[in-house]
Structure 1
Amino acid sequence: MLLELQNLGKSFGEHEVLRDVNAGVERGDRIGIIGANGTGKTTLLRILCGESLPDAGDAAFGTGVTTGYLEQNARLDPSLDIYATMRLVFTPALDAMQEMDALQKQLAADPHNAELTEKIAHCTAVIDAMDAYNMDTQIKKVLNGMGFPADTWTKLAGVLSGGEQTRLRLARLLLERPDLLILDEPTNHLDLETMEWLENYLKAYRGAVLVVSHDRYFLDAVCTRIWELRGKSIKTYRGNYSAYLPQREAADERQQKLHDAAVEKAAKLQDYVDRNLVRASTTKMAQSRRKQLEKLEIVETPDHRGVGAELSL
């Protein structure tokens, strides 16, 4: 389990946004997060990224799980060009390479030094984990896929348009390959060719993906599960967005039937109480019905705020 949400709750003053949210993320999951505006999508992402703390419950990550978040307003170093921005991802491996060169020279003078050998092994592990010897190949693949041809790589990040900067942030995040990739409207500013490349990239992603999107076709192409934020909690559905729609409709029908049945039962109990409470012969039965009425829980009617209407067609 990469992530487990346990009875998660969040309020802003008296306004409760999330309550008793329970859900989990496994490696390989590609989960679309949907919901009407104001249902807590941004709040949930902020909690998962550590920018906000829950008021109740917990968002528990697995040991050593790495996360990456594409936020809409993150900033790039304006003095770095596109290629150097991507190369920053490999800083730990590049530092390890430099350190290993120095260590190997020391080891040549002292070949039986076990401490030096151990440090070299650590550097090698860092380099291999990032596949750093193929750094240039990885960078070029992602830049080309995200719509940055080679003749743009020397452009400074500071002169890029807002849309280009968003694409570059996304490209860098993809190159980092975190265990859990969290994306907020990733298809903004993407043309069809780039969007198709991103869809294929995410479908083959080895980690897990959480994505907030209003693009139903993107959700259909990428997602294997849907989290719907509704009623201050999460309802989970299997499959992509198209598979979610009939499941939600069936769930709403079941909930409406439960509501209607409870309302009908409450009405009958109340009618019996009203007619018999004052009659000596039936008072005890009426009091029993009244207790049943007090304990009766009426299921809420489904929240029909349609997220479908808010998704791009």
Structure 2
Amino acid sequence: MHPSSMKALNLNRRQALLAVAATAAGNFGLPAFANTQAPVRLVVPFTPGTGIDLIARVIGPKLTERFQRPFIVDNKPGASGNIGTLEVVRSTPDGTTLLVTVNTLVMNTELYPKMGYSPVRDLTAISETSVGQLVLVTGSQSKITDLKELISYAQKNPSVLNYGSPGAGTPHHLAMELLKSKTKISLTHVSYRGTAQALTDLLGGQIDLMFLPIHVALQHIKAGKLRAIAISSDIPSPLLPNVPPLKSLQLGDMNVDMWYGLLGPKGLPADFVRNINEALKAILAQPDVAKAFESQGMTPQYSTPQAFQSLIEADAKRWGNLIKTQGITAE
């Protein structure tokens, strides 16, 4: 065969192979240059054993099975989630690095103004994965028996009652600061390094109040050691059907549920986002996923990328305004 004909044949073969690769990449929602067999890192910006980590370890194998490529959990804790998040922000938007996180993502915007990224502008929303309720509790020895009594007492006795949190800027802390802001009451914040010691002091009567994840508080409520006076959602929880939601105060948006979700770096291909979102919709509907999430007090929650982006934007504004007006700073 003439050399020029051989060259043309090789070129045609190369073009055909590239076309096949591009088609395969399109099926996975990845740009043609990406390796569709490369592992996908699910970056968890917190330590193993947390609720966020559980989400990644539940959905990871199911995504692996669905897309026939590895989805691997990669814990990158530190700086209240900022280290792992920043790694995702700086990654190439080729679908090989994703972020599994919680709503502290948007709270950190005002708490850490020098962190170097914006969750609204620098990340691509894919879908929520779950929500977790917080419950406002007092010790069984407390004179406060319900939400209205709490507000009335605190208004008449400013700064007398104190409340605990697992740290400044945590959802537990900001939930109480939102309640303070809406009801115009004054409470004294006692910040702890984690939930365990705060819970011990609450049970012992050293602190008066605290927002706790429902799965942490429930056993103590059932044992009569804690008294539940409000739930963070807009509707009562089936686990505590007689506990009123904060919305019952009729003071505007008082939903302080913790949301969790999957995001990627800015610029992720739309096909990739759509395919992962559709996969998550099916995965989150599976009974075994709901059962696994329940162990961490979470309920599966699917959303479209657009709805998740709107939630991120709204919460970034709401919590940002609260942090500024209440003068809250990270420790």
Normalised to the residue count of structure 2, the TM-score between the two structures is 0.25
Which entry has the higher C-alpha Rg, 1 or 2?
1
Which protein is richer in helix relative to its size? 1
TM-score, structure 1 as length reference: 0.26
